[in-house]
């Protein structure tokens, strides 16, 4: 686990403990044609908090946290017509932090 993933893990852990709910949701969507990028964010109880993550974080960082056991994927949806339209729900295991 690198420093960026540790920072993300620490932020997720703090939000989950403070909110007394162990689930987070990753979402992404394509904002349109160039020069608009794909936007992605993480929510806890309906509120986005990933703006506090390091600026260069990616979905692979969450996948890495899943491999460590910190995150457990509960449900995943990807629009078959738009691979950028995703929603992934995770359970957070704070004891693994």
Question: Token digits for 14?
Answer: 């703090």
Q: Are strands 47-48 and 71-79 parallel, antiparallel or unpaired?
A: unpaired
Give the residue from 57, 66, 59 showing the smallest Cα distance to 90: 66
19 compared with 30, residue with greater pLDDT: 19
Contact between 76 and 87 (Cβ < 8 Å) = yes
Number of domains in the chain: 1
Q: What pLDDT score does 18 carry?
A: 92
Q: Stretch 6-22: mean pLDDT, rounded?
A: 93
Each residue of 38-88: pLDDT tens digit? Answer: 788 999 999 999 989 998 899 999 999 999 999 999 999 998 888 788 899
CB atoms inside a 10 Å sphere around CB 1:
13
33 band by pLDDT with thresholds 50, 70 and 90: low
Domain extent at residue 59: 3-96
């Amino acid at each position: 686990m690198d420093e960026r993933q540790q920072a993300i893990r620490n932020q997720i852990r703090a939000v989950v403990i403070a909110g007394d709910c162990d689930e987070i949701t990753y979402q992404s969507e394509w904002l349109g044609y160039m020069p608009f990028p794909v936007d992605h964010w993480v929510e806890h109880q309906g509120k986005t908090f990933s703006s506090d993550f390091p600026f260069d974080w990616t979905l692979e960082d969450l996948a890495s946290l899943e491999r460590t056991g910190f995150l457990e994927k509960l449900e995943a949806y990807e629009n078959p017509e738009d691979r950028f339209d995703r929603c992934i729900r995770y359970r957070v295991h704070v004891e693994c932090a």
